[in-house]
Amino acid sequence: MVDFDVGNLPAVKKMLEWVDQQPPPSQGRDTHVIRFKLEEETPGVTNRAEYRGLMVFRPRNTFQGPVAQFPGFTAIGTIANKDVLQVDAAWVRVEVFFRPRPPERAHVFATLAFLRDLDTLPSTNLRPGLEVDASFTSPTDSAAIFLQSPPERWILGTLRRTTLLFGPPPL
């Protein structure tokens, strides 16, 4: 169960509760994940990149480094629109962190790392990791995360609950 406040965002709460499985499933294929689409919305960019992939939930203290104590999402995605491969980044790694601040809702921030291939060491990324301000929008049944580090702007959206075998969520 999610132990921090995300505010009055029912779609975000529903998404977090889907991926925060306690205890973890006995079969890896039953792991709950979120399918995502990451779209570039940077003003003035004509060949906008679009990535698609899967996000898993990362509980508190399961990571190393300065953000290890924050729960969040870890995701990897591949380029979806092949016509913009001149960007040279075939893969993206997305990290979304929730910094709990009781009694207020959690502060959200994220990082994006663009990779030429999955064998690339993080120190040889195409460019330094991009830390971005993150904010949620949550209409009725869907959620999107706006990621901004001016001038760059990305939308992490089309968030759909599924399993590693792309099974539909139960009703």
pLDDT tens for the chain, 171 residues: list them.
677 777 777 777 788 888 888 888 888 888 899 999 999 888 888 778 889 999 998 887 776 766 668 888 889 998 888 665 455 678 888 888 888 877 877 788 888 888 877 665 555 555 556 777 777 765 555 678 888 888 888 888 888 888 888 766 555
Is 168 a domain residue? no
Is 171 a domain residue? no
Is 135 a domain residue? yes
Neighbouring residues of 49: CB distance < 8 A, sequence distance ≥ 6: 39, 40, 79, 81, 84, 87, 89
Can you give the residue range of the structural domain that contains 48? Answer: 10-162
User: What is the predicted pLDDT for the residue at 127?
Assistant: 54
Is 170 a domain residue? no
User: What is the predicted pLDDT for the residue at 21?
Assistant: 83
User: What is the predicted pLDDT for the residue at 120?
Assistant: 56
Decide: pTM greater than 0.95: no
Is 60 a domain residue? yes
Contact indicator for 97, 112 with CB cutoff of 8 Å: no
Give the chain's largest Cα–Cα span. 48
User: How far from each other are the two terminal CA atoms of the chain, in whole angstroms?
Assistant: 19
Is 3 a domain residue? no
Is 50 a domain residue? yes
- The domain spanning residue 75 has which CATH number? 2.40.128
Is 169 a domain residue? no
Q: How many separate domains does the chain show?
A: 1
Neighbouring residues of 87: CB distance < 8 A, sequence distance ≥ 6: 47, 49, 79, 114
